[in-house]
Amino acid sequence: MKKRALVSVSDKAGLIPFTQGLVDAGIEVISTGGTKRALEEAGVPVQSVDSVTGFPEILDGRVKTLHPMIHGGLLARRDKADHVEQINEHQIKPIDYVVVNLYPFAETIAKPETTFAEAIEQIDIGGPSMLRSAAKNHADVTVIVDPNDYDSVLDSLKLDEEAKQPLRKRLAAKVFRHTAAYDAMIAAYLTEAVEEKTPESITITYSHKQALRYGENPHQKAAFYEKSTSSPSSIAKATQLHGKELSFNNIQDANAALEIVKEFTEPAAVAIKHMNPCGVGTGSTIAEAFNRAYEADEKSIFGGIVAVNEEVDLVTAEKMSGIFLEVVLAPSFSEEAKELLTKKKNIRLLQVAVEQTKAESKLVSVHGGLLVQDEDLYGLDEATITVPTKRTPTEEEWTALKLGWKVVKHVKSNAIVLTNGDMTVGVGAGQMNRVGSAAIAIEQAGERAQGAALASDAFFPYGDTVETAAKAGITAIIQPGGSVRDEESIQKADEHGIAMVFTAVRHFKH
C-alpha cells in the first residue's frame, strides 16, 4: 500500500521542495485548505482532507482534520491485528507522515494591536491533536513540526523501518516539547488576562535564544532562553551590533543596567559591576550623564557594563573608548560613535529600546522550587511620603534624595546609596548589616559625602546609621521608616539637623 502524508502548515517555509520530495518517494499527500492551495499552485499533486473524511471544513476552519478518518489513520498500531481489522472495517487508511506547524499564536500576541478575540482564534486545536496522535504512534508514524527537520526526514526516506526509529522517536519528543510550550503560552496569556497571579500550577515556556560558552563560571553549562512575550525593551530583545559573544554574566549585568536606566526620563547613564550599580549619572546630555556615572566611581567602572537611555553620540563614545568597558547598551549609536567604538574589539555594543515596561512576574529558582512575585516597579509615591524630622529637605536635597531612591531599589540589600543632585557618590551593597553598607558607601564617597543625601532600601533598626551619616556630613536621608526604634533615628537626625524622609515603602533586593 502507498504511504500517505498529511500536510497542514501555517508556516509554509520549505513546504514545496519538501512535499515534492515526499511525492518523489512515492508518498501520497493529503492537505488542508491553504496548504493544499499552495501545493497545487506549485504543481505538487495533493488530495484534500475533505475527500478523505467525506466531511467539509466547517466553523471557519475550527474543524478540518478532527475526524476519525484522520485520527484513526494516525493512531492505529500496525503491529496489532485488532487495530488493523478495525481500521479496515471502517475503511480508514493509515497515515504515515504528519507535517504540521501551528497557528502563530506567539507572533499574534506579540503584536500590541491584537485583540483578545483575535488571539483566541489563533489557538490551534486540530494541529496539536494531529501532532500528538502521530507522536504517540511514532513507532509507525513520522511527525514533523519544525521545517528545520525537513531535510533529515527526506534523507531518512530510503531507510528501512527499523533504521527510521531513532529519528521518529527524536521527532516525537520534539513534538511534545512543542505542544507543551504552545499550550503553556496560551495558558500564560489567559492567566494574565484574568490577572491570576498565583495559579495552582505554572508551566512556563521559553525558547532557546542563544548558546552560551558557560554560566557564571566556566565549569557551569548555560544557555539564554527567551520568553515568547518578551517586551521590546528587554535584554532578550537587545541586538548585538558589535563585539565578542555575550557571556552569562554580561547578560545579567546588562539586564540590571537596562532596568535601572529605565527609571529615568532625563539623560542618564548607569554603570554596573556584578549586578550592582557602581555609578549612576544624570545630565542635560548623555555625555554629561556618562561622565558623572564614570566620576561616581572611576575605579569600579573598569570592566563594567554601561547602559544609557539616549543615543550614544561621538562625544560620549570618545569618553567611553578611553575606558575598558565590557558592554555598552543604548537605544541607538550615532554613525560616528559606532565607527569609533567598533574599533575596539573587546567592547560589546547592544542596541535596545529603553522605555518603562509593564510589570512582569519575577521568577527565582530555589532548590526544588520556584518563587514568583510581581516585579518591583514601585516609584516614589507623594501620598505615602512623610517627613518626621524638624527640618524638611531643601529643593536640592529633594533632587538628590529622589535620585538615591531610584537607584537604591536596584542595589542588593542591605543597600545604602549616597547621591548629590545628579550622580551617585557612594554605593554600599549586599552587607549583612545596614550600618556596614553605610560605612562602605561613605568611605567610597570620601569628601563627597559632605552635603550628600543618603538612601536606604529598608528602615534603620537602630539610630547608628544616622549617627554614621551625620559624622560623614550627610544632610538628608530617605528611608521607608517603620522600625520600632524609628524615634531613635529621628532624634539623631534632629540632633544633627538632618532632614529625613519616610517613604513607607521598602525596596529589598536579594
- Supply the minimum distance, in Å, between the C-beta of residue 73 and ligand FAI: 14
- Supply the minimum distance, in Å, between the C-beta of residue 60 and ligand FAI: 9
* CB of 118 or CB of 495, closer to ligand FAI: 118
* CB of 65 or CB of 468, closer to ligand FAI: 65
Whole-Å CA distances, 220 to 213, 216, 247, 249, 363? 9, 7, 12, 12, 20
Given 93, 227, 274, 344, which residue is catalytic? 274
Given 93, 136, 319, 344, which residue is catalytic? 136
Residues facing 271 on adjacent strands = 279, 306
Active-site residue, 208 included? no
- Supply the minimum distance, in Å, between the C-beta of residue 11 and ligand FAI: 8
* CB of 67 or CB of 262, closer to ligand FAI: 67
- Supply the minimum distance, in Å, between the C-beta of residue 190 and ligand FAI: 17
Q: Report the alpha-carbon distance of residue 448 to residue 47 in Å, rounded.
A: 80
- Supply the minimum distance, in Å, between the C-beta of residue 45 and ligand FAI: 16
Query: What one-character-per-residue DSSP string does 57-123 give?
Result: -BGGGTBSS-SHHHHHHHH--TT-HHHHHHHHHTTPPP--EEEEE---HHHHHHSTT--HHHHHHT-
Whole-Å CA distances, 26 to 4, 67, 74, 307, 419? 9, 25, 19, 58, 75
- Supply the minimum distance, in Å, between the C-beta of residue 8 and ligand FAI: 4
Residue 494 contacts residue 389 (beta carbons within 8 Å): yes
**What does the block give as the cell for 388?**
518626621
Residues that bind ligand FAI (CB under 6 A): 8-10, 32-35, 61-66, 100-103, 124-127
Phi, psi (rounded to 5 degrees) for 419: -140, 155
**What does the block give as the cell for 96?**
504515515
**What does the block give as the cell for 363?**
521568577
Alpha helices, DSSP H, located in 194-239: none
CA angle 286, 289, 294 (to 5 degrees): 120
Residue 20, judged by CB atoms within 10 A of its CB (0-12, 13-18, 19+), counts as middle
- Supply the minimum distance, in Å, between the C-beta of residue 150 and ligand FAI: 16
Q: Report the alpha-carbon distance of residue 279 to residue 325 in Å, rounded.
A: 13
* CB of 62 or CB of 471, closer to ligand FAI: 62
Whole-Å CA distances, 431 to 329, 353, 441, 471? 28, 33, 11, 20
* CB of 70 or CB of 256, closer to ligand FAI: 70
* CB of 8 or CB of 19, closer to ligand FAI: 8
Active-site residue, 138 included? no
* CB of 31 or CB of 309, closer to ligand FAI: 31
Name the helix (H) or strand (E) containing 155: helix 150-156
Q: Which residues are catalytic?
A: 136, 274
